[in-house]
Amino acid sequence: MRQLERKLPIGIQSYEKIIENQNLYVDKTGYIYKLAHTDVPYFLSRPRRFGKSLLLSTMKAYWEGKKELFKGLLIETLEQDNADAWAAYPVFYIDFNRANFKDEGVLEAILEVHLKEWEKEYGDTSREAPLGARFGALLEAAVAKTGKKCVVLVDEYDKPLLETMENKELVEHNKAVFKGFFSALKSSDVFIRFIFITGVTKFSKVSIFSDLNQLRDISMSMDYAEICGITELEMKNVFKPELEALAAEQEMTFDECLIKLRQEYDGYRFHQKGKGVYNPYSLLSALADREFDSYWFETGTPSFLAHRLRTMNFDARKFTDGTLYATKRMLKDYSDDNPDPIPLLYQTGYLTLFDYNAEDRAYTLGFPNREVQYGFMESLLPEYVGDIGAGSGKDILSLKRYVESGDLEGIHRVFAALFAGIPYPTNKDPFEHDFQSVFYITLTLLGQYVHCEQHTSSGRIDCVLETRQFVYIIELKRDASAIEALQQINDMHYADPYAADQRKLYKIGADFKSETRRLEEWEVE
């Protein structure tokens, strides 16, 4: 019999489907065993497309007693001496991935669908009763019918809140609906065996977290830091043939391929002592396509986050200069009326933990990998300068080509167009912030060519661009002159480190005028 082709579970959120279709599976069942053998309700926050739905689907199969789906996995070994293992419990699986919640009434409609499904199994409830009361009645009825306490699994609880963040009235309405519905979890505690809730964000003022006093948040727990995502060891153990195929397709050695994968998709850390994990969706997509691309970012855009950063004049340089700090309390809880964007950026996966100061109990944060860094900056730049697409005169791909080919006039045109795209302030927002942000973001998007604010023995250079054939030293002034900027490059001997370099070197002085908000002077030597 011909051996079946190895199947990657890209986008498959059903554990049962993965096993039945013989897809490759990274065994996370040891975590499920550990969680299941407690009476504590749990909450887990992870970014989108990080495996939360698959984790809950695996829990569902476990609690439904489907032992045949776990053959050869760790949990089968762990449960082998447990006489009570693999009993079937009534499972109430609440999936908020089913709909778009931007319209009023959608949340109630989805909850109604779930209630009707459960009523087919456990008996009708009074349609005149509130949603929460009906839910509580069903939990009690399930215990009476099965003799087993209930398991409640809630997937992406916060989707009705994240999708309505720009509509304050609807957010508050959905919070009130949540309060009424999930109050049943507290009042019906005697009928519940296990609770597990997932989401991208932990909204601190949502009643789920205040009503369930014993809810344990394991989002930043060392014991569960790798419960979602894929560690490098797991990747090598499960996907070695796919890694070899990717390396061959890209004409890389195996080790070179691993380095590239780490740079692009690794780097997420959810505890200061936890291992780094790969974004599973991006990693599996790269292995399937045998190429590197921005997979995770293509599945959704952080438009509301980018807009919020722009309106609050957030200094984009903080993303990479090591000056973003937060405590665990700040990172675990998010309030929609909190002006600080850092907790939301962390919880949604655009920032991750870099370092930890035990004395201050504070984390340093930054971008986890290149896919996130470049994708986020690409989404942020249009907030400052409008359209940056092909034909706009300010697209980054054209700028890269000009830098690679030594086209000084082209480089000048793109920078001039970018600065010209900064709108005049309408609410006295500081133009200097916009000017600095556009310059920094543009240089970040140039990627491997750039060394920003490079320190030398005699001073700090605004920017150095290096390609295989060219070196560009750029000094950018505001309300001075391009000649003065060029003179600084020479006086401070910024070019000295490249004296023996065989590449062609250009010194560029430029001046941005406050009054016109234009890059009006450009001198090259």
| 185-202 pLDDT per residue, tens | 989 999 999 999 999 888
C-alpha–C-alpha distance, residues 88 and 149, integer Å: 10
Question: Which residue type, as a one-letter code, is found at position 500?
Answer: A
In 10 A of CB 72, how many CB atoms? Answer: 8
Q: Which two tokens stand for residue 300?
A: 């959704």
C-alpha–C-alpha distance, residues 84 and 60, integer Å: 17
Taking the model in full, what pTM does it have?
0.88
Question: Which range is least confidently modeled, 107-116, 299-308, 425-434, 462-471?
Answer: 425-434
* pLDDT value, residue 3: 39
- Sign, CA torsion 381/312/199/73: positive
* pLDDT value, residue 308: 80
Residue 341, pLDDT > 50, answer yes
* pLDDT value, residue 430: 52
* pLDDT value, residue 432: 63
Residue 425, pLDDT > 60, answer no
| 150-197 pLDDT per residue, tens | 999 999 998 998 888 878 899 889 989 999 999 999 899 999 999 999
Going by C-alpha positions, the residue among 278, 271, 279, 282 that lies closest to residue 354 is 271
Contact present, 343 and 200 (Cβ < 8 Å) = no
* pLDDT value, residue 452: 57
* pLDDT value, residue 334: 73
State the residue for tokens 């009042």.
187
- For residues 304-311, average pLDDT: 80
3-class DSSP assignment, residue 396 = helix
| 70-121 pLDDT per residue, tens | 999 999 999 998 888 899 999 999 999 878 898 889 999 999 999 999 999 9
Domain coordinates in residue numbering, the chain: 15-224, 232-298, 303-371, 386-524
- What percentage of residues in the chain have a pLDDT greater than 90? 59
* pLDDT value, residue 1: 30
CATH topology of domain 15-224: Rossmann fold (3.40.50)
Residue 429, pLDDT > 60, answer no
* pLDDT value, residue 428: 47
* pLDDT value, residue 127: 83
Q: Which two tokens stand for residue 303?
A: 């438009």
- Residue 4 vs residue 31, higher pLDDT: 31
C-alpha–C-alpha distance, residues 228 and 222, integer Å: 13
| Integer CA distances (angstroms), 243 to 12, 175, 250, 254, 263, in order | 20, 45, 11, 7, 15
- Sign, CA torsion 48/225/263/352: positive
C-alpha–C-alpha distance, residues 517 and 423, integer Å: 9
| 115-149 pLDDT per residue, tens | 999 999 999 988 889 999 999 999 999 999 999 99
Pairing assessment for the beta strands 470-478 and 192-199 based on DSSP bridges: unpaired
* pLDDT value, residue 2: 36
Contact present, 42 and 216 (Cβ < 8 Å) = yes
